[in-house]
Amino acid sequence: MQTKIEKLVYGGEAIAKIDSKVCFIPFVIPDEEVEVRITEEKKSYLRCEATSIIKSLPTE
């Protein structure tokens, strides 16, 4: 699945939305577009891991 990272939250994880559920993803930064794999599914949220970065932020 592909998603866009929205923001960082407490604990260092980032959040994105997949099928209207909040998805927690470690080791990514806001505004990146990433391919993810769902590792855990709960009633109100998902835990995912990034498998590849589709679009990253430009570096200065």
Percent pLDDT > 70 in the chain is: 97
Residue 7 confidence (pLDDT): 95
Give the number of C-alpha atoms closer than 13 A to the C-alpha of residue 21, restricted to the C-beta side.
Answer: 15
Residue 26's φ and ψ, nearest 5 degrees, are -85, 160
- Using pLDDT thresholds of 50, 70 and 90, give the confidence band for residue 59: low
Average pLDDT over residues 40-58: 92
Enter the CATH code of domain 2-55: 2.40.50.140
According to DSSP, the residues that pair with 7 across neighbouring strands are 15
Give per-residue pLDDT as tens, 5-27.
999 999 889 999 998 899 999 99
Is a pLDDT exceeding 80 seen at residue 60? no
Residue 25 and residue 23: Cα distance in Å, rounded?
A: 6
Residue in the structure block whose two tokens are 């009633």: 43
- Taking the domains of the chain in order of start, what are their residue ranges? 2-55
Task: Calculate the CA dihedral of residues 14, 7, 23, 28 and round it to 10 degrees.
Answer: -40
